[in-house]
Amino acid sequence: METLKRETAQVPDPTAENAQLFSPITIRSLTFRNRIIVSPMCEYSSEDGFASDWHLVHLGSRAVGGAALVLTEAIAVEAQGRISPQDLGIYRDEHLEMLTRITDFIKGQGAIAGTQLAHAGRKASTRRPFEKGPHTVAQQEGGWTPVAPSELAFSPTYPNPTALNRTQIAEVTAAFVKATERTLKAGFEVIELHAAHGYLLHQFLSPVANQRSDEYGGSFENRIRFLIEVVDAVRSEWSSELPLFVRLSATDWLENLPVESWRLSDTVELCKILKEHGVDLIDVSSGGLSPEQQIAVGPGYQVPFAEAVRRESDIMTAAVGLITEAEQANQVINSGQADMVALARQLLRDPYWPLRAARELNQEIVWPTQYERAK
Kindly list the catalytic residues: 199
Instruction: Return the DSSP state at 50.
Output: B
Measure the CA–CA gap between 118 and 141, rounded to whole angstroms.
Answer: 23
Contact at 8 Å (CB) between 46 and 128?
no
Degrees, nearest 5: CA angle 267-343-230: 40
Q: Which amino acid is at 181?
A: E
Distance from CA of residue 314 to its chain's centroid? 20
Measure the CA–CA gap between 16 and 336, rounded to whole angstroms.
Answer: 17
Residue 87, C-beta contacts closer than 8 angstroms, at least 6 positions apart:
42, 44, 46, 49, 73, 74, 75, 76, 120
Residue 53, C-beta contacts closer than 8 angstroms, at least 6 positions apart:
none
Phi, psi of 194 (to 5 degrees): -90, 100
Q: How far is the CA of 94 from the CAs of 51, 58, 71, 90, 129, in angstroms?
A: 10, 21, 20, 9, 27
Let me know if 133 is exposed, middle or buried by CB neighbors in 10 A (0-12, 13-18, 19+).
Answer: exposed
Contact at 8 Å (CB) between 332 and 343?
no
Beta strands in 9-135 (DSSP E): 25-27, 30-32, 36-38, 69-76, 112-118
Among 368, 346, 375, residue whose Cα is nearest residue 64:
368
Among 291, 361, 327, residue whose Cα is nearest residue 8:
327
Q: How far is the CA of 13 from the CAs of 232, 303, 351, in angstroms?
A: 43, 21, 25
